[in-house]
Each structure stands twice: as C-alpha cells, then as structure tokens.
Amino acid sequence: MRRLAPAGATALGCTFIAIGCGGIRAPDLFVVQRNGPAAGETLTLLVNEEGGVRCNGGPEGKLADPALLQARSIQEGLKGAASAHLSLPAAGESVFSYFVRDENGSVRFHDNSPRQPKVLRELQAFVLATAQTVCHLAQ
C-alpha cells in the first residue's frame, strides 16, 4: 500500500516514510484538510492503518479501536468517490470545506454540499470527534 506524505509535503503526494532506527511508519488511510471561517477551525488530520493520528503536523496521537474501525470503514467507502476525484460545490454559505486524499484519489466537498454520499457525512463526524478527542481542539 502506498503512503501519503504529511500535509504540506510534496502537495500530498504518495510516498513511503521511514522513521528512526530503520523502522517504517504504518501505511496511511487518508489525510483530511478541513477549513473553517475562524481561527482554530482549520485542521489537517492524517490517519494511519494502526490508528496513529497527526493533527496539524503535531506529535502522533492514537485512535481508540472503535474509531480506528470507523476510519477504515470510511476509507473503504471513499474508494469510488476518491478514484472519480469527486468535487461537490457548497449549497450557499457553508461552515467547513473538506479535502480528503487517500491512495485511490481525492474528494472535495463542503459540509452542506447537496447529494453528498453518506460516507462524506460519516467523515465529517469522524473529523469532529477526532479533533476533539485526539487533537484536543474545540471542534
């Protein structure tokens, strides 16, 4: 499986990342960039297959097992939309915009995009919960 470079590194290109003592970091499931109107609402969330999470390039946190299962389910559910590079416009004023990339491709959407697949609503809920529990952000 390919790995995603942390946000900001080579425009989210896929790569392998080695870490200390010759070890290899777990493959990434996906990286999400969420943008909001207020300070503190912008978030880059990188999730790997072992439940490791990096919030805005900070130190790695850990997902609880149920959240890891949810992340894997979301990544599986994104396959079709990501490989089609789905891009959904906002319906009027939106609060958050999202860009998610995985090994299959990418998806752009807004919190209020019409006709968004269920997996995108699940991704929004996952990002919010992870931002609060792992990243220790307000939202």
Of 31, 48, 56, 35, nearest to 107 by C-alpha is 31
pTM: 0.81
pLDDT of residue 113: 97
Residue 74 has pLDDT above 70, yes or no: yes
Of 69, 65, 104, nearest to 85 by C-alpha is 104
pLDDT of residue 23: 59
Task: List all residues 6 or more positions away from 113 whose beta carbon is below 8 Å from its beta carbon.
Answer: 88, 89, 90, 91, 94, 120
CA dist 78 and 92 (Å) reads 24
Task: List all residues 6 or more positions away from 19 whose beta carbon is below 8 Å from its beta carbon.
Answer: 25
pLDDT of residue 13: 42
Question: What digits encode the pLDDT tens for the residues 117-129?
Answer: 999 999 999 999 9
Q: What is the mean pLDDT of residues 46-74?
A: 96
pLDDT of residue 8: 41
Contact 33, 99 (CB under 8 A): yes
Question: What digits encode the pLDDT tens for the residues 1-59?
Answer: 444 444 444 334 443 444 444 556 789 999 999 998 887 789 999 999 999 999 999 99
pLDDT of residue 116: 95
Q: What is the mean pLDDT of residues 102-106?
A: 96
Task: List all residues 6 or more positions away from 108 whose beta carbon is below 8 Å from its beta carbon.
Answer: 86, 87, 88, 97, 98, 99
